[in-house]
Amino acid sequence: MTETLPPLLAADEPPSYSIENAHGASPFFFTCDHAGRRIPSALGDLGLGERELQRHIAWDIGAAGVMSRLAARLDAFAIAQTYSRLVVDCNRPLESPTLITPHSERTDVPGNESLSAAQRQQRIDAVFRPYHARIEAELDARRSAGRPTILVTVHSFTPVYLDVARPWQVGILYHRDARLAHALLRLIRAEGEWVVGDNEPYSVSDTSDYAIPVYGTQRGLANVELEIRQDLIAEADGQAAWAERVAAWLPKAGSAAGLL
């Protein structure tokens, strides 16, 4: 007999996503997969202390604050995922071994070890599916309306990973469609002020990522993944400064790439 479990989220817990500028007129379309660090109360603290749950392993520090300001500046639709990536990582394919990761950097996540199929499914149903269903619905509606869409997925990275310091302030990540990414790289390098990563500190692949392969490549939408270093955007003033910068770069790069 297949085990079934009740819904993961209690009636008083927030949905798995929040939206800003639902009617934003811009072609730019923002997603933030690792915006939140909330854990559904049914999962306790996943066996981690509050200190661990505030670290980068639980969420993308500062990314939601940057995206929110960017969306306001550009009058663009934005969607942010509410729950910690440790509950279920919304930028992984369902088959990925790190979809519900039992280890992150050097931290074991006891609440993610030895999950039953039903427990895994419960997380997917509560968080992953509604978040992605909302993105799909929005992209479908824009396509039906003949509205152009340029996907920008916003992330942040830890300044030090496994003891190695990362030199970049910002990373421009892309996979098969590099139109916007290459235009951004040219523009940012031309300013002469930034150490910018070209598919650094990560690269995008079909097996390690979801948004770019599924919404960019499969739907044929121009796209880029932005990664900003967390120490620069941990506080509101840094988030505002980076949002200002990126809000200037995106339309220029989009025009240079012939997308606007």
| Contact footprint for Zn ion (CB under 5 A) | 34, 60, 155
Parallel/antiparallel/unpaired status of strands 28-32 and 77-81: parallel
Nearer Cβ to Zn ion (34/69): 34
- Through-space distance between the first and last CA atoms of the chain, rounded to whole angstroms: 54
Q: How near is the Cβ of 153 to Zn ion at its closest, in Å?
A: 8
Separation of alpha carbons 17 and 36, rounded Å: 9
Q: How near is the Cβ of 63 to Zn ion at its closest, in Å?
A: 7
Q: How near is the Cβ of 116 to Zn ion at its closest, in Å?
A: 27
Q: How near is the Cβ of 193 to Zn ion at its closest, in Å?
A: 24
Nearer Cβ to Zn ion (96/119): 96
Please check whether residue 53 is in contact with residue 45, taking contact to mean a CB–CB distance below 8 angstroms: yes
Q: How near is the Cβ of 91 to Zn ion at its closest, in Å?
A: 6
All residues at 6 or more sequence positions from 243 whose CB lies less than 8 Å from its CB, including other chains: 65, 66, 67, 68, 69, 70, 73
How many Cβ atoms from other residues are within 10 Å of residue 120's Cβ? 15
Structure tokens at 135: 């993105």
Q: How near is the Cβ of 13 to Zn ion at its closest, in Å?
A: 22
Nearer Cβ to Zn ion (34/132): 34
Separation of alpha carbons 188 and 252, rounded Å: 11
How many Cβ atoms from other residues are within 10 Å of residue 170's Cβ? 23
Q: What are phi and psi of 31, to 5 degrees?
A: -130, 150
Separation of alpha carbons 39 and 258, rounded Å: 42
Nearer Cβ to Zn ion (155/229): 155
Nearer Cβ to Zn ion (119/203): 203
Residue nearest to Zn ion (CB): 155
Nearer Cβ to Zn ion (90/222): 90
